[in-house]
């Protein structure tokens, strides 16, 4: 058996045993990713401690560009073994060497405390733990609602979120008063 044929046989066996499969090039004529996995579940550990769980329907890796992409991402960050919430996005594109991720197709964060944030896109810098978005963002949670034209912030301990542009916020009492005024035609 030649080296090339042996390599192909070994590669095919690895893909079959690993539950992976080769994909046909898309109709666009563009070659598929160097590596494509479907139905991916990942656990992230730091110093032996589980810090996050992630599920993705598809993950692709482009070796030449050192890029990865995922579809239908659901990420669950953990603190002391307890979930902090869920980050979901239709698509995630990562430049691995630069440690930046671009979430698109609708991004939504739901904390375990009931806070929710949604925006069309979100840029995350993993090195600095900062995030930003240049599209409208909406927030809601127990007793409040807010929205803004853009946003930026920092996640993790001491994290915060800043709304920019035409930002509006209302607390539960103000939301109820506004709704009552609207029903009376006072707006």
Query: What predicted TM-score, i.e. pTM, was given to this entire model?
Result: 0.71
Is 7 inside a domain boundary? no
pLDDT digit string (tens) for 35-62? 899 999 999 898 888 888 999 999 999 8
Is 74 inside a domain boundary? yes
* Measured CA distances, 12 to 8, 27, 60, 63, 78 (Å): 6, 24, 18, 19, 36
Whether 122 contacts 103, CB under 8 Å: yes
What pLDDT does residue 164 have?
A: 94
Is 107 inside a domain boundary? yes
What pLDDT does residue 87 have?
A: 93
Task: Give me the residue label for tokens 């058996």.
Answer: 1
Is 136 inside a domain boundary? yes
How many domains is the chain built from? Answer: 1
Whether 67 contacts 91, CB under 8 Å: no
Is 3 inside a domain boundary? no
Q: What is the mean pLDDT of residues 134-149?
A: 95
Closest to 167 measured CA to CA, from 144, 186, 142, 183: 144
Q: What is the mean pLDDT of residues 1-28?
A: 41
pLDDT above 60: residue 177: no
Closest to 100 measured CA to CA, from 148, 72, 140, 67: 67
For residue 77, give the CATH number of its domain.
2.60.450.10
Question: What is the pLDDT of the chain when averaged over all its residues?
Answer: 80
What residue numbers bound the domain in which 125 lies?
34-183
Q: What is the mean pLDDT of residues 142-162?
A: 91
**For the stretch 162-171, what's the b/e string if a residue is b when 16 or more beta carbons lie within 10 angstroms of its beta carbon?**
ebeeeeeebe
Residues β-bridged to residue 168: 147
């Amino acid at each position: 058996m030649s080296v090339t044929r042996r390599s192909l046989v070994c590669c095919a066996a690895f893909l079959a045993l690993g539950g992976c499969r080769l994909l046909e090039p898309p109709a666009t004529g563009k070659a598929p990713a160097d590596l494509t996995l479907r139905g991916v579940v990942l656990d992230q550990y730091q110093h032996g401690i589980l810090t996050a769980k992630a599920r993705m329907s598809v993950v692709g890796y482009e070796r030449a560009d050192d890029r990865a992409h995922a579809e239908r991402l659901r990420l669950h960050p953990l603190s002391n073994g307890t979930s902090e919430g869920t980050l979901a996005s239709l698509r995630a594109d990562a430049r691995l060497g630069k440690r930046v991720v671009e979430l698109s197709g609708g991004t939504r964060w739901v904390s375990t405390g009931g806070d929710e944030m949604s925006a069309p896109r979100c840029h995350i810098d993993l090195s600095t733990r900062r995030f930003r978005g240049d599209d409208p963002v909406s927030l809601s949670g127990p007793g409040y609602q807010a929205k803004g034209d853009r946003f930026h912030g920092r996640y993790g301990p001491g994290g915060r979120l800043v709304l920019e542009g035409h930002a509006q916020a209302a607390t539960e009492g103000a939301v109820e008063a506004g709704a009552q005024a609207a029903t009376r035609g006072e707006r």
